[in-house]
Structure 1
């Protein structure tokens, strides 16, 4: 027997086993019942896609969107969403060893209906988007994971041409550039992708960018945004138009090079496209469509960053608001708000296509999923 040939296989098995035992799934929801667990944490077995319940947290209103710190120790949530005259961002400490999630503190979000929160790679800053009032807020993060007082809040009033949905700004996400030196803000209400420079060393890190915004097509309704792993391209899902716009990216500048439908040709109106992510290898892009379709659109990405549709996968539920890919690229997990179910798919790395694993859990009004490998 050639033991030398077995060594790489043995190393790979150890690597996969590490991910299998240390990958966690964080779920948020629209839940105003304080006696119910509105945040739940599961362990993902990245060999077979099984989910095992770890812990949950009660006494939280509508933690609709989550993000996890780079070191995996803290969870940040948009809370009090869709609550009149309210809106907050909350922090929690996650202890994988003790299997606990502990509330730390919260701060007013600086606007009604916070819908997106993101964290800087250094773990020292978070930014959140407030939908109703069209604003972005920035907060320092303390060493103990708590959120410090707000240091910047920018509000916008301009809208676009849709008489009902675009009477004013509705910032729907806040996404750092690959170098974490810019912050991009897709604005559904204004048909703009706003941009600020971000200087992590300053007490007030947001500065006006040379190009403060990029206009999208009218009635596009830009929602979520993601960058290619090669840092050369950006992709924006447009909720109202059901399209994906592809941009060349360089130093805070976006140049559109393609616009392609996220929906089948049979869908000609009533679009409700939502979330967008790219596989770790950069070869495939996935986008969720709610409403009539309730599916994940699958695209291949060529060397020029351009997209080609290769299929659609039902999410086996109603209203897939947010989905996520695990760090191995083997699994995609979708959350269906209206049907309250979380579905695990295995991803074929060669074809990009998805297959339901059979693993499915129930969580009322589940609205968000984040997956994090924690050593």
Structure 2
């Protein structure tokens, strides 16, 4: 079972947002067929996260603060039905990502370049925001890096997060102060990539020794070795098809559950790049580029078994279901299903 986030109304960063909110789908793990079980109405739920015990789902509303966006806490019921527990105000513009670490929900706001931290109560409800962090600075690309743009929150090491910022070309590290419960900067762990590249999302290997940072603006993955106590960039590799000369719009990056393959999507070429992770050097080698059979693959995600990958084609209003080849990690299209303005895939 998986959920989809979608863009539902004008003002969202989509040409024609017509989504129905949060969709819940059942996947037949043998045939690859999917069935829509139900929709939960919500404005622009562009990113979703599920608690480790699978009892709660949290979703942001991606829009300007003037429209009173909220972060929603849901209880997951039988057959994936969602019951709203409560909401809290988002004091930021264009919340685009969120993550859970310990008893906190941390939200990244793209336009305002800020990070908001909400305590999660025992029953899954959210308390009011207890901390706001604002990034500062400008980048090399004057059009896209004119102000800080926090794009992702990535938890690691039980009490740390990386906040990936497109303008700062960096994954900035923070840890929870055990005494105050507040997030504190940990600059020694910051991951800095090339100026102007536009850090968007990242993923780490299973041992949290390597980080793979995706650049939205230049279409590259930067591999950072963290084993020395500080980050060291050891590889830069493109995820754009060699023959493609159009616009670049790096989007999502995911590690296969086995740790053997890495995948990255590009909204310019409408493709997913497939990489083999070398067991010795742990560097990346390109295996193939797969069309998502649609427009603007803003997100994709693999099921926990690693057998299926589902891509959300935002601007063609489809989700593509791929079977993952266990021998080489390549993708075989199983079906293409109409889903209005999908932008996030979240597995239960």
Fold match by TM threshold 0.5: yes
Instruction: Please state whether the residue corresponding to 2:48 is helix, strand or coil.
Output: strand
Instruction: Please state whether the residue corresponding to 2:226 is helix, strand or coil.
Output: strand
In 2, are the aligned partners of 1:151 and 1:204 still within 8 Å (CA)?
Answer: no
Give a deviation string over 1:313-335, Cα, whole Å, max 9, x none. 11111000011011100000000
Q: Is the alpha carbon distance of 1:38 and 1:261 closer, same or farther for their aligned partners in structure 2, counting shifts above 3 Å?
A: same
Give a deviation string over 1:273-318, Cα, whole Å, max 9, x none. 1100011111000000102x10110000002220000101111110
265, 269, 272: which one aligns with 1:296: 272
CA distance in 1 between counterparts of 2:19 and 2:179 reads 40
In 1, are the aligned partners of 2:65 and 2:91 still within 8 Å (CA)?
Answer: no
Instruction: Please state whether the residue corresponding to 1:111 is helix, strand or coil.
Output: coil
Which residue number in structure 1 is paired with residue 96 of structure 2?
A: 115
Aligned residue runs from structure 1 range 180-195, under 5 A: 180-195=158-173
Unpaired stretches in structure 2, ≥5 consecutive residues: 11-16
CA distance in 2 between counterparts of 1:216 and 1:371 reads 30
Which residue number in structure 1 is paired with residue 63 of structure 2?
A: 81
CA distance in 2 between counterparts of 1:264 and 1:344 reads 21
Structure 1 position 163 matched with structure 2 position 139: no
CA distance in 2 between counterparts of 1:176 and 1:68 reads 14
Which residue number in structure 2 is paired with residue 106 of structure 1?
A: 87
Q: CA RMSD in A?
A: 2.0
211, 216, 233: which one aligns with 1:234: 211
TM-score by length of 1: 0.86
CA distance in 2 between counterparts of 1:227 and 1:141 reads 25
Give a deviation string over 1:154-201, Cα, whole Å, max 9, x none. 002201111111111001000011x222110111012122111135x5
Q: Which runs of at least 4 in structure 1 moved beyond 4 Å after TM superposition?
A: 33-36, 82-85
CA distance in 2 between counterparts of 1:152 and 1:310 reads 43
1:255 CA displacement: 1.5
Which residue number in structure 1 is paired with residue 74 of structure 2?
A: 92
CA distance in 1 between counterparts of 2:229 and 2:344 reads 28
In 1, are the aligned partners of 2:19 and 2:341 still within 8 Å (CA)?
Answer: no
Structure showing greater Rg: 1
In 2, are the aligned partners of 1:86 and 1:112 still within 8 Å (CA)?
Answer: no
In 1, are the aligned partners of 2:220 and 2:238 still within 8 Å (CA)?
Answer: yes
Structure 1 position 51 matched with structure 2 position 34: yes
1:55 CA displacement: 2.1
Structure 1 position 266 matched with structure 2 position 231: no
307, 311, 325: which one aligns with 1:348: 325
Q: Is the alpha carbon distance of 1:27 and 1:217 closer, same or farther for their aligned partners in structure 2, counting shifts above 3 Å?
A: same
CA distance in 1 between counterparts of 2:214 and 2:59 reads 22
Which residue number in structure 2 is paired with residue 70 of structure 1?
A: 52
Aligned residue runs from structure 1 range 174-253, under 5 A: 174-177=153-156, 179-199=157-177, 201-211=178-188, 213-250=190-227, 253=230
1:203 CA displacement: 5.0
CA distance in 2 between counterparts of 1:234 and 1:189 reads 19
